[in-house]
Amino acid sequence: MKKRKQVSTVAKVVVLLVVCKLCLFVPFAPAQVDTLRIASYNLLNFPSVGGVQRVDDFRIVMRYLKPDVLVVQELESQGGLDLFLNEVMNQTGATYAAAIFIDGPDTDSGLFYRPDRVSIQPVHAIPTDLRNIYQYTLTAAGQEFIIYSVHLKAGSLDGDQQRRLTETTALRREIDSLPAGTNFMVVGDFNMRSSLEAAFSELADSTANAALKLFDPVDQLGLWHNNPVFAVLHTQSTRTTAFGEGATGGLDDRFDLILVSASLLTPGGMDILPATYRAVGNDGNHLNLAVNAGTNGAVPDSVADALHQASDHLPVAADFILANTTSVASRDAAPNGFVLLQNYPNPFNPVTTISFSL
C-alpha cells in the first residue's frame, strides 16, 4: 500500500504565497495599464534670479523626477521658457516640448511635456487682477484632461486672502462651464496656510455641481502652516538662509498643491494614484529645516542639495493611471513589493491580506 505524503498547512500557505507573488508579475493580456507622471514646480523668478547658475540644479532634479508633464510657475519670459526647455528638460535623457508661452502681467506659467506621450491643444489664459491663470488641455492614451496652473496672491493679511478668493472665483467660473465628468486638476502655488481659507472653499466646496468640485487626493485638510501633522507635505521653504531672493524659514508651508476633480478619483479612464502624491524631497523630518539639512530619507543627497539651490519651493508630483492605452508607450509598473497582514505570527489565519504598491 502506497503511503500518501502529507503536506503541512504551513507549507501550503508558503506555496500559495509564492504562487501569488509570481502571479503579480504575469502580463495578463489584453489589459494594459499606463501611468503618466505630472508635476508642478515654482521656479523662483526664472531666469532673472541666477537662472543660468541654477540650470545644473534644475537638471539634477528633473533627471531624478522624470515627469511626463511639468507645469511651472514664476516663469518670466519666452527666453526663460526656451532656456529651461533646452538646457534642463532636454538634457534629462528624454525629449520634451513646451506649450505656447503667453506673456501676462507679473510672472507666468509654463508647461513642458513629452510629445511621445502627450499631445496638447491651444493654451487659454484666464485673466485676474494680479496674474493669469493658465488652462492647458492635453490628451494621453486617448484620455483628455485639463490642467489649470495657478500662482495665487502671497501673504497672510485679510487683503491677501480676499485677493486669493477673487482669483479662485474667476477660476471657479471657468470650471463651472465644463461638462460633468471632465478630467481636470488645479496645480501650482496656492500661497494658502490652511484649507479653511475661503479661496480654497471656492474650489473645493462652492459649486452647485458636485461633479466639478476639487479634492485633495491625499485628504490632508486643516491648518498646514508650521504644523508637524502635515510636515511631509510642506513645500516651502527649502532654505533657512537668505540667497537668490528666495524665502527662508525652512519647510513649514504647504503652498504647492495638486487638486483633482471627482472624475480623477473614480476608477476608469484616467485616475490619480493617491499613494504617489508627494512633495518631492520632503521626508517629513525637516519641519523648519532646510531640505538638505542632515540626512534626507526621501531623495539622494545630491538631489536634496539641488532642490535647496534651485528654488525655495519643492515640486509636487503624482502618477495617474491611463486605461485603454492606444498610442502611448508604457512606463514599467511592476509591484515593487508586497506585505502580508494578519497571517503573522499566526499562519492559520483564514484571511490573508496582500497589499502591494506600484
pLDDT value of position 308? 99
Q: Kindly state whether residue 252 falls inside one of the protein's structural domains.
A: yes
> Quick check: 190 pLDDT over 50?
yes
Amino acid letter at 226? N
Distances (CA, A) of 63 to 59, 83, 89: 6, 16, 8
When comparing pLDDT for 354 and 36, which is higher?
36
pLDDT value of position 206? 66
Q: Kindly state whether residue 79 falls inside one of the protein's structural domains.
A: yes
For the segment 203-260, what is each residue's pLDDT rounded down to a tens digit? 999 666 778 999 999 999 999 999 999 999 999 999 999 998 999 999 999 999 999 9
Check the CA dihedral 221-223-228-231 and report its sign: positive
pLDDT value of position 210? 78
**Residue 274 CB burial class (10 angstroms; 0-12, 13-18, ≥19):** middle
Q: In this structure, what DSSP letter does residue 281 have? A: T
Q: Kindly state whether residue 26 falls inside one of the protein's structural domains.
A: no
Q: Kindly state whether residue 106 falls inside one of the protein's structural domains.
A: yes
What predicted TM-score, i.e. pTM, was given to this entire model? 0.83
> Quick check: 6 pLDDT over 90?
no
> Quick check: 355 pLDDT over 70?
no
Question: What is the span of the domain harbouring residue 107?
Answer: 35-322
Of 139, 220, 217, 141, nearest to 182 by C-alpha is 139
**The CATH number of the domain where 227 resides is what?**
3.60.10.10
| The three three-digit cell numbers of residue 320, written as one number | 495617474
When comparing pLDDT for 102 and 326, which is higher?
102
Q: Kindly state whether residue 124 falls inside one of the protein's structural domains.
A: yes
pLDDT value of position 3? 42
Distances (CA, A) of 169 to 35, 157, 172, 204, 223: 32, 18, 5, 11, 22
Domains identified in the chain, total number: 1
Instruction: Give the whole-number percent of the chain exceeding pLDDT 70.
Output: 80
For the segment 317-327, what is each residue's pLDDT rounded down to a tens digit? 999 999 864 44
Contacts of 262 (CB under 8 A, 6+ apart): 210, 211, 212, 213, 215
Of 203, 202, 173, nearest to 185 by C-alpha is 203
pLDDT value of position 32? 58
Q: Kindly state whether residue 347 falls inside one of the protein's structural domains.
A: no
Check the CA dihedral 41-42-46-51 and report its sign: negative
Q: Kindly state whether residue 350 falls inside one of the protein's structural domains.
A: no
Q: Kindly state whether residue 239 falls inside one of the protein's structural domains.
A: yes
Of 72, 53, 62, 68, nearest to 92 by C-alpha is 62
| Mean residue pLDDT across the chain | 86
